[in-house]
Structure 1
Amino acid sequence: MSRRRCRDGGLAGRFAAGSVGPAGAEGPVGPADRGAASVVALGLVGATVALTALTVPLLGAFVGSQRAANAADAAALAAADASSGAVPGVPCALASAIAERNGVELTGCELDGPVSTVSVGFGAFGFAIEAEARAGPPGWTG
């Protein structure tokens, strides 16, 4: 590889465009680029924080929907047990107590013979989360 001298005394062709030259040399990347890595790092941290801020509430709402579904199932089973006489109590009052123990509010309770249908709801991360469940003997048409 032959080396030729440039007019300014540096070596031509040795460094690719955009690369840093020898220590102390003013090359294509000079003092104006100082701190550029800090800006890129700050941008990456900001993007990570923004993505986290968007993801956490959505995942929280998903967990909340599962919690509401579980509470609705338990409340519906309690109301169905009370309406069939398996446990003492008023079916919808029992369903409301079970819903409250699960951290949700009973928003609806309907009885059709031994079948109970309940709806529950609560708020999480600014989302209104609702669930509905039905419990009773299999094959009951009402």
Structure 2
Amino acid sequence: MLKRYATGTGGRDRGLATVWVAVTTATLCVVFAVVLALGQAVAARHKAGAAADLAALAAADRALLGAAEACAAARTVAGAQEAELVRCAVQADIADVTARARFGPYAPEARSRAGPPGL
């Protein structure tokens, strides 16, 4: 036999737990989506930084062969890192490059310089 609830004060808050669970679930989904987006942005920035560092090292390694050869090496290395070379400048034996890496909706750029070690 089923019990029937009285229509007094206790009957007014029936279903309130369902609303709270729905609101809490929606809030947790939004927080989770924001954390994932921030993680993706950080990963994109690290990917661009690594590509720029490696491209700058490659360009500095070939700097004595000329700017065209050095920038071609930097472009090849950046492409191998799934990034694109945005800017490449070689002055004497110092290479200055900027690389862009796409990761999801993000496309950050990173700049890096490389050259011979100081004496």
- For the aligned pair, the TM-score class normalised by the smaller chain equals 0.7 to 0.9
User: Do structure 1's residue 101 and structure 2's residue 80 form an aligned pair?
Assistant: yes
What is the Cα-based RMSD across aligned positions, in Å?
A: 2.3
Indicate the structure whose relative CO is greater, using CA pairs within 8 Å and at least 6 residues apart. Answer: 2
Deviations 1:74-125 (A, max 9, x none): 000011111246xxx9111110011011011100000011110110113334
In structure 2, the residue matched to 1:132 is: 111
Q: Report the identity percentage.
A: 32
Which has the larger displacement, 120-129 or 55-64? 120-129
Structure with higher Rg: it is 1
1:110-129 to 2 correspondences below 5 Å: 110-129=89-108
Structure 1's unaligned 5+ residue stretches are 1-22
Query: Which shifted more, 107-116 or 53-62?
Result: 53-62
Counterpart CA distance in 2 for 1:29 and 1:106 is 70
* Structure 2 gap ranges (5+): none
- Shifted more, 96-105 versus 30-39: the winner is 30-39
Q: Give the TM-score normalised by the residue count of structure 2.
A: 0.84
TM-score, length basis structure 1: 0.71
Q: Which has the higher helix share?
A: 2
Does the CA-based 8 Å contact 2:44-2:107 persist in structure 1? no
